[in-house]
C-alpha cells in the first residue's frame, strides 16, 4: 500500500490550512513586518490603516494580554517587535480585515518611522563582537594539541556552507476559532502542536487546557515548522481572542520566504592531521553558526553539528568548538539534518583537501578511517552495531567503484569540454532528540463497536508517511486488515504534551507507543475470547488475520465477534500508552553521554557530468547502500531516501540565499531561488538495502537500539548523501582546470562553477 495520503493529494481532497472549512464570518490576517535589518521604531501609527477598507483590527506588542514571548529554548524572541527591530521581516503587527487583500492593502497605510542601525550579517563578525546566542560549546576526545607532532601531514582551511529555504509546498498558516468562555481552538500546520498550545497560552495568559491545537497534516515541514509555525498561530489566536471572531492567517510565498527561518549558514575553520598511512590522527574544527536574530532552535542545532562533526569516522583526537552567532538576519531554524549536514560537510571537505594535496582519492582516506565497533564518538558514546565499514564495502563492491572511476577517467581523457566527476559519501546519523526529555510519545486507540479503529498519536503527518506507518504498525500488532484503521489528526485534546515530530523520531517514538497501546487492547480481547471459548489460559489465544486461534488452532470466532462481546461485557475498548526511549542520557557539562538510541549508516556513490562551456551540470546517478533496518513500509522509505538525496543535492548546488549588505534577502521568490526541478534530479537513484544480521538485531542486548518492528529512522539521514554531489562536481571541475584553487564554499551554483573553471 502506498502512503494513503497520495491519492487524496492527487485528486485535491487533502485538507491543508487553506482548505479548512471556516465559518462565514472568518477574518483574514496579514503580517506587517520590519523593512530594515536593525533599528528602532521611532513612530508607529495605525490610525489611517484602521480606516482602510474592511479592516477590523490591528494588533501589536501592546495588545498582548500575556507575555510577548515565543522563544522555545531561550526566551529571547518577541511575537511582535517592541522598540527594536532585529531583522528584515521582524513582525510588528497583524492586520485583520474581511478579506486578505484588504488586510494587505491596509499595511501600506501604516505610518512608521524607523531609525536605522548598522546590522551584523556575518557570523564571524558577530563572534568577534561577542554577539552570541549562548556561550561557545566544545566537544573533545583525546588530546589534539599533543597529536599534531605525530602527524606526517597537516592541512588547514576554511569551509562555508549556505543556508537553505524549506520551500514546503504549503506556506505557513493557521486558523484560530474562539470557543466558549476564553477557550480557543487553533488549526495549525505545525510539527509541534504542544509548542503552539503552550505559546498561545503564554501570549493570551490562559491555562493550556483552554487552548486546543489540531493538526490535520502539513504540506511539508522539513524542520521549518518545528518551531516556526508557532508565531502565525499565536497571531491568529491573538486577533481571534480580541475580536471573538475566527481569524485565518496564511503567509503568501514571498512573505514566507522573507520572514521565516531557514537552514543555518555556517562558516568553519578546520585543521586535519594524518600519518603516512592515511589515518587521521587529529581534527580540530571551529564552527561559526549564523543563528540570526534570536535563538529559536539554534543551540540544539549547534549541538548536532558537534555530534556529527566526524561523520562516519573514528578520529582519536578531536577538538570541536562551536559558536552560535547572533546576527541581524531572520532566526535560522531546523532543516532536515538539523546541523548535522553542516558539520559533515566540513570533515568531508578536510578529507578532500588532504586527498587532493596527497594526490590520492578521498575514498582512500575515507576507507581507512571509518568507525568500527566499540570505537568512541567525540561525545563518549561507543559505536554499537556500526555499519560504516560494511555499508562502504558493500557499496564499493556492489556498484564496482573501481570500474566506475576508470570509466570516468577514460571519459575525461577523451573529452575536453565535458567532464565527469565521482565521489563517495558515507553517512552516520544519530537517532534520538539530543535533548533527552523530548524522547517520549503517546498513543490513544479506540476500537468502536463496528470493529473500526481510531488511532491518535503525537506524530504529525507532513508527507513523510508517518500516518501510513502508524496504520501498518497497528494492523500488524492487532493482526487486522489495514482498512479497519483510521489515523486521526494530531490533537492536543487527545494526545497531550507532544514532542515535535522531528529528529527522524516520529515513527520510532509514536510507533512504539502504538505497539504498547495495541498490546493492552490485545490482552483484553484475548481474555474476552478465552472466556467465550471456555479456554482457561488466555495466553493461549492469538489473533491472526482477523481470526481467533486457540493453541494455534482456528476457532469459529473472529476479531469483530470478540470486539462486540467485549463491549457487551463492559470491557474497555480504549487504550492509551506512553513510550520513552530507554538508556539515553547526555551531560551537557562534560559533553559526554549516550545521547542516541542508535545510528543510521550508509554509503553513496554520486556521479556528475559537467558542461565546461556553460558551467551547468547534471547528476548521472546516485547509488546507495542504505541501512533501513527491516523496512516495514518499503515504498515510503524509498521515497524518503530519494527525496532526501534530491534536497541534499539542492542545498549543495543551485539553492543560494543572497542578502544585500543591508540584510535584505534578494532571492525571495521561486524565480530567483532555485530548488531542484525535474531536470535537476539525478537521472538514476539506485538503492540497495544493507542486509541485517537478524540474530544480532533481535538479541535482547540490542533490542533498544532499533525502531519499531526492527525498522530504523529514515527521515533525515539520506539528505546527507547529497553532500557527495559537491565533491563529485569539484572533481569534475578539477579535471578540466587542475590549477583551480579549491575553495570549499557551497552551494556550487553554475555561475560559481563557471568562474572557477576559468580562474586560478
Contact positions toward ligand MOS, by CB under 6 A? Answer: 191, 221, 223, 226, 334-336, 338, 502-503, 716
Among ligand MTE, ligand MOS, none, partner that 420 touches (CB below 5 to 8 angstroms by kind):
none
Contact with ligand MTE (CB under 6 A) among 203, 272, 466, 513: 466
DSSP bridge pairs for 116: 39
Which residue sits closest to ligand MTE, CB atoms considered? 506
DSSP bridge pairs for 174: 188, 249
Binders in 635-664 for ligand MTE, by CB under 6 A:
640, 643
Cβ proximity to ligand MOS: between 177 and 502 the closer is 502
How do strand 685-689 and strand 617-626 relate by DSSP bridges?
parallel
Using alpha carbons only, give the angle 537, 541, 545 rounded to the nearest 5 degrees.
175
Cell of 644: 532526501
Q: What is the closest distance, in whole angstroms, from the C-beta atom of residue 312 to ligand MOS in the complex? A: 20
Q: How far is CA 553 from CA 42, 528, 538, 540, 550, in A?
A: 82, 17, 14, 10, 5
**Helix-, strand-, coil-residue percentages of the chain, each rounded to 5:** 35, 25, 40
Cell of 247: 481569524
At residue 473, what are phi and psi to the nearest 5 degrees? Answer: -60, -50
Contact with ligand MTE (CB under 6 A) among 503, 514, 575, 685: 503
Please choose, out of 431-439, 495-503, 604-612, 661-669, the segment that lies near ligand MTE by the rule CB under 6 A: 495-503
Cβ proximity to ligand MTE: between 240 and 466 the closer is 466
Of the candidates 609, 617, 611, the one whose C-alpha atom is nearest the C-alpha of residue 407 is: 609
Catalytic residue (one of 551, 716, 751, 760):
716
Among ligand MOS, ligand MTE, none, partner that 464 touches (CB below 5 to 8 angstroms by kind):
ligand MTE
How far apart are alpha carbons 513 and 473 in whole angstroms? 10
Cβ proximity to ligand MTE: between 15 and 179 the closer is 15
Among ligand MTE, ligand MOS, none, partner that 507 touches (CB below 5 to 8 angstroms by kind):
ligand MTE
Cβ proximity to ligand MTE: between 362 and 504 the closer is 504
Among ligand MTE, ligand MOS, none, partner that 369 touches (CB below 5 to 8 angstroms by kind):
none
Which residues does 437 contact at the CB level (< 8 Å), separation at least 6? none
Among ligand MTE, ligand MOS, none, partner that 249 touches (CB below 5 to 8 angstroms by kind):
none
**504 interacts with ligand MTE by CB under 6 A:** yes
Cβ proximity to ligand MOS: between 227 and 532 the closer is 227
Which residues does 112 contact at the CB level (< 8 Å), separation at least 6? 41, 43, 44, 45, 92
Across the beta sheet with 184-188, the strand order is 55-60, 91-97, 27-33, 247-250, 173-178, 184-188, 211-215, 490-491
In this structure, are residues 619 and 331 in contact, taking their beta carbons and an 8 Å threshold? Answer: no
- Binding mask 217-256 toward ligand MTE (x if CB under 6 A, else -) reads ---xxxx---------------------------------
Among ligand MTE, ligand MOS, none, partner that 463 touches (CB below 5 to 8 angstroms by kind):
ligand MTE
Please choose, out of 62-70, 216-224, 262-270, 356-364, the segment that lies near ligand MTE by the rule CB under 6 A: 216-224
How many CB atoms are closer than 10 A to CB 231? 26
Q: Is 716 one of the annotated active-site residues of the chain?
A: yes
The torsion region of residue 89 among left (phi > 0), alpha (psi -120 to 50) and beta comes to left
Contact with ligand MTE (CB under 6 A) among 248, 336, 494, 734: 336
How far apart are alpha carbons 45 and 758 in whole angstroms? 54
Q: How far is CA 204 from CA 177, 183, 236, in A?
A: 14, 10, 11
Of the candidates 646, 667, 651, the one whose C-alpha atom is nearest the C-alpha of residue 257 is: 667
**715 interacts with ligand MTE by CB under 6 A:** yes
How far apart are alpha carbons 713 and 718 in whole angstroms? 10
**462 interacts with ligand MTE by CB under 6 A:** yes
Q: What is the closest distance, in whole angstroms, from the C-beta atom of residue 221 to ligand MTE in the complex? A: 4
Please choose, out of 263-271, 368-376, 497-505, 583-591, the segment that lies near ligand MTE by the rule CB under 6 A: 497-505
**502 interacts with ligand MTE by CB under 6 A:** yes
How far apart are alpha carbons 270 and 248 in whole angstroms? 48
Contact with ligand MTE (CB under 6 A) among 716, 727, 728, 747: 716
In this structure, are residues 686 and 393 in contact, taking their beta carbons and an 8 Å threshold? Answer: no
Q: What is the closest distance, in whole angstroms, from the C-beta atom of residue 221 to ligand MOS in the complex? A: 6
**463 interacts with ligand MTE by CB under 6 A:** yes
Q: What is the closest distance, in whole angstroms, from the C-beta atom of residue 503 to ligand MOS in the complex? A: 5
How do strand 541-544 and strand 547-550 relate by DSSP bridges?
antiparallel
Q: Which residues are catalytically annotated? A: 716
Q: Which residues are near ligand MTE by CB under 6 A?
A: 220-223, 336, 462-464, 466, 501-507, 640, 643, 715-716
Amino acid at each position: 500500500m502506498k502512503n494513503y495520503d497520495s491519492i487524496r493529494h492527487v485528486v485535491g481532497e487533502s485538507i491543508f490550512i487553506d482548505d479548512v472549512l471556516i465559518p462565514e464570518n472568518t477574518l483574514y490576517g496579514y503580517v506587517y513586518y520590519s523593512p530594515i535589518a536593525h533599528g528602532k521604531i521611532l513612530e508607529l501609527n495605525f490610525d489611517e490603516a484602521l480606516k482602510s477598507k474592511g479592516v477590523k483590527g490591528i494588533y501589536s506588542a501592546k495588545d498582548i494580554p500575556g507575555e510577548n514571548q515565543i522563544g522555545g529554548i531561550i526566551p529571547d524572541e518577541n511575537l511582535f517587535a517592541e522598540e527594536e527591530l532585529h531583522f528584515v521581516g521582524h513582525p510588528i503587527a497583524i492586520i485583520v480585515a474581511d478579506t486578505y487583500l484588504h488586510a494587505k492593502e491596509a499595511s501600506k497605510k501604516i505610518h512608521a518611522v524607523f531609525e536605522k542601525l548598522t546590522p551584523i550579517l556575518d557570523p564571524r563578525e558577530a563572534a568577534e563582537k561577542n554577539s552570541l546566542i549562548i556561550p561557545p560549546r566544545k566537544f573533545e576526545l583525546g588530546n589534539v594539541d599533543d597529536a599534531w607532532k605525530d602527524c606526517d601531514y597537516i592541512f588547514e582551511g576554511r569551509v562555508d556552507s549556505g543556508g537553505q529555504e524549506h520551500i514546503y509546498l504549503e506556506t505557513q498558516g493557521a486558523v484560530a476559532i474562539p470557543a466558549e468562555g476564553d477557550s480557543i481552538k487553533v488549526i495549525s500546520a505545525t510539527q509541534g502542536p504542544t509548542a503552539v498550545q503552550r505559546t498561545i497560552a503564554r501570549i493570551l495568559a490562559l491555562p493550556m487546557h483552554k487552548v486546543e491545537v489540531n493538526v490535520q497534516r502539513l504540506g511539508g515541514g522539513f524542520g521549518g515548522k518545528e518551531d516556526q509555525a508557532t508565531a502565525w498561530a499565536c497571531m491568529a489566536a491573538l486577533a481571534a481572542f480580541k475580536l471573538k471572531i475566527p481569524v485565518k492567517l496564511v503567509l503568501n510565498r514571498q512573505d514566507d520566504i522573507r520572514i521565516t527561518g531557514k537552514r543555518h549558514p555556517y562558516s568553519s575553520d578546520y585543521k586535519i592531521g594524518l600519518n603516512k598511512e592515511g589515518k587521521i590522527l587529529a581534527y580540530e574544527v571551529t564552527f561559526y553558526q549564523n543563528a540570526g536574530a534570536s535563538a529559536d532552535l539554534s543551540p540544539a542545532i549547534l549541538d548536532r553539528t558537534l555530534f556529527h562533526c566526524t561523520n562516519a569516522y573514528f578520529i582519536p583526537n578531536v577538538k570541536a568548538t562551536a559558536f552560535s552567532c547572533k546576527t541581524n538576519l531572520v532566526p535560522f531554524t531546523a532543516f532536515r539534518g538539523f546541523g548535522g549536514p553542516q558539520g559533515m560537510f566540513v570533515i568531508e571537505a578536510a578529507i578532500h583537501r588532504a586527498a587532493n594535496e596527497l594526490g590520492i582519492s578521498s575514498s582512500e582516506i575515507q576507507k581507512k578511517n571509518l568507525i568500527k565497533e566499540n570505537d568512541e564518538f567525540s561525545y563518549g558514546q561507543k559505536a554499537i552495531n556500526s555499519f560504516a565499514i560494511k555499508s562502504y564495502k558493500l557499496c564499493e563492491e556492489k556498484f564496482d567503484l573501481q570500474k566506475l572511476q576508470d570509466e570516468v577517467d577514460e571519459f575525461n581523457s577523451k573529452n575536453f569540454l565535458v567532464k565527469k566527476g565521482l565521489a563517495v559519501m558515507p553517512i552516520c546519523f544519530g537517532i534520538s532528540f539530543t535533548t533527552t526529555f523530548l524522547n517520549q510519545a503517546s498513543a490513544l486507540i479506540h476500537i468502536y463497536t463496528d470493529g473500526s479503529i481510531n488511532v491518535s498519536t503525537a506524530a504529525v503527518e507532513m508527507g513523510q508517511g508517518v500516518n501510513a506507518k502508524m496504520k501498518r504498525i497497528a494492523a500488524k500488532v492487532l493482526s487486522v486488515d489495514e482498512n479497519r484503521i483510521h489515523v486521526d489528526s494530531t490533537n492536543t485534546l487527545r494526545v497531550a504534551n507532544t514532542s515535535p515530530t522531528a529528529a527522524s523520531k516520529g515513527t520510532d517514538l509514536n510507533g512504539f507507543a502504538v505497539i504498547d497501546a495495541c498490546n493492552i487492547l490485545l490482552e483484553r480481547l484475548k481474555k474476552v475470547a478465552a472466556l467465550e471459548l471456555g479456554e482457561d489460559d488466555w495466553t493461549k489465544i492469538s489473533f491472526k488475520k482477523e481470526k481467533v486461534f486457540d493453541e494455534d488452532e482456528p476457532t469459529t470466532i473472529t476479531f469483530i465477534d470478540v470486539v462486540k462481546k467485549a463491549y457487551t461485557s463492559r470491557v474497555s475498548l480504549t487504550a492509551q500508552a506512553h513510550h520513552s526511549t530507554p538508556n539515553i542520557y547526555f551531560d551537557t557539562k562534560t559533553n559526554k553521554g549516550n545521547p542516541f538510541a542508535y545510528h543510521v549508516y550508509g554509503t553513496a556513490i554520486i556521479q556528475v557530468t559537467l558542461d565546461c562551456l556553460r558551467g551547468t551540470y547534471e547528476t548521472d546517478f546516485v547509488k546507495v547502500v542504505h541501512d533501513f533496518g527491516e523496512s516495514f513500509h518499503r515504498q515510503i522509505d524509498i521515497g524518503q531516501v530519494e527525496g532526501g538525496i534530491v534536497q541534499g543535492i539542492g542545498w549543495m548546488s543551485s539553492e543560494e540565499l543572497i542578502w544585500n549588505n543591508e540584510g535584505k534577502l534578494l532571492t525571495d521568490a521561486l524565480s530567483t531561488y532555485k530548488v531542484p526541478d525535474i531536470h535537476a534530479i539525478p537521472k538514476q537513484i539506485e538503492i540497495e538495502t544493507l542486509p541485517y544480521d537478524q540474530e544480532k538485531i533481535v538479541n535482547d542486548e540490542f533490542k533498544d537500539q532499533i525502531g519499531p518492528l526492527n525498522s530504523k529512522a529514515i527521515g533525515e539521514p539520506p539528505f546527507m548523501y547529497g553532500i557527495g554531489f559537491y565533491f563529485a562536481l569539484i572533481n569534475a571541475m578539477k579535471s578540466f582546470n587542475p590549477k583551480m584553487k579549491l575553495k570549499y564554499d557551497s552551494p556550487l551554483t553554475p555561475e560559481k562553477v563557471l568562474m572557477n573553471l576559468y580562474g586560478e
